[in-house]
Amino acid sequence: MNRVLALLIIAGVAIAANNAIRDKRAGLGAFSSKENSKISKAYLTKSVRGRKPYEVGPGSKKLENGSANVVTSVVVDYRGFDTLGEVTVLFTAAAGIGLLFGRRRRIKLERPSAVVRTIAPWALFFILLVGAYIFLHGHLTPGGGFPGGAMIAAGAALMLMSIRPKIKHIYLKVLESLAGITFVSMGLIGLFKKGSFLQNFMTNGTLGATFSVYFIMIIYFAVGIKVASELSSVVGEFDEMEENGGNE
C-alpha cells in the first residue's frame, strides 16, 4: 500500500515537472530562449553598491529575484534543483559513513593543552557566530548554506577535540530531517503555485534589505541546518570507534 502511494506521488510529480519543463511560453520552460538574454542581463548587472553601470541598485523593488548576490540567485533560485541534488549527495555520504563506522566507544585523545582548553570556547563562539551569519546573510553576501553549515560543523569538530561533549546523534538526525522536509516542501509549494519545482513564490521585497528575499532566506536556513547537522554527525562518527579496534 505504501509503495503504491509512493509510486503515485512520484508519478504525479514527474508529470507536473515534465509539463513545467516543456512549457513553451517565453521565459518559463527550459527550451524557451526568447527571454533568456533579457533575464541574464537583468540579474548579472545587479549590485548593492549602486555603481553607475549597474542598472539594479540598492532599494530596487519588484525584481525577478531579490538576492543581492548573483551566485545566490543562481544557486538557490534559478538552479535550486541542483542544490537539492548536492544536499542529497551529502546526505548519502553521511549515511554511508554512519553505516561504515560503528559507534560504541569513543577514541581516546590525550587531554588538550591549557592553551587549547582556554582558547577553544572563545574561538568556538566566533566560529559558530560567523557560520550562522554566513548562512543567515547568504541572500546578501557571498556564502550561504553550504559554507555556513560546514563552518558550524568545523566548530563541532573543535568542540569534540577540546571540550569533548557527548554527541547525541538523534537530535542531529531530527534537525537534518526537518531541514530536508522544509527544502522539499518549499519546492513542492513552488511547483503547485507557480508551476515549476523550487520556483520563487514569495515576495522579493527591497534589494539589499536584511529581510528581503524570504524564499532564499528560508532555503538557505534549511540548507545551513542540514549541512551543519550532517557534517557534525560525520565528525561525531569519526570520534567513535568499534569495540574491536576499528582498523579494517
Partner 1 sequence: MTLYELTVLILVLVMLGGAAAVISLRTLLSAAIAEGIVSLVLALLFLLMSAPDVAITQAVIGAGLSTALYLWSLRRMETGSARDGKEAANE
Binding site for partner 1 (CB under 8 A): 69, 71, 107-109, 134, 142-144, 146-147, 150-151, 153-154, 157, 161, 231, 234-235, 238-239, 241, 245-247
Shortest approach of partner 1 to residue 72 CB, angstroms?
8
Shortest approach of partner 1 to residue 177 CB, angstroms?
22
Contacts of 37 (CB under 8 A, 6+ apart): none
* Count of beta carbons in the 10 Å neighbourhood of residue 131: 24
d(CA 41, CA 27): 13
Shortest approach of partner 1 to residue 138 CB, angstroms?
9
Q: What is the DSSP string of 163-194?
A: T-PPP-HHHHHHHHHHHHHHHHHHHHHHHHHH
Handedness of CA 241, 242, 245, 247 (dihedral sign): negative
Closer by beta carbon to partner 1, 67 or else 196: 67
Shortest approach of partner 1 to residue 193 CB, angstroms?
29
Closer by beta carbon to partner 1, 106 or else 194: 106
Shortest approach of partner 1 to residue 160 CB, angstroms?
9
CA distances from 125 to 42, 120, 122, 132 (A): 39, 8, 5, 11
Which grid cell sits at 106?
569513543
Closer by beta carbon to partner 1, 191 or else 234: 234
Residue with cell 530596487: 60
Closer by beta carbon to partner 1, 171 or else 238: 238
Closer by beta carbon to partner 1, 191 or else 219: 219
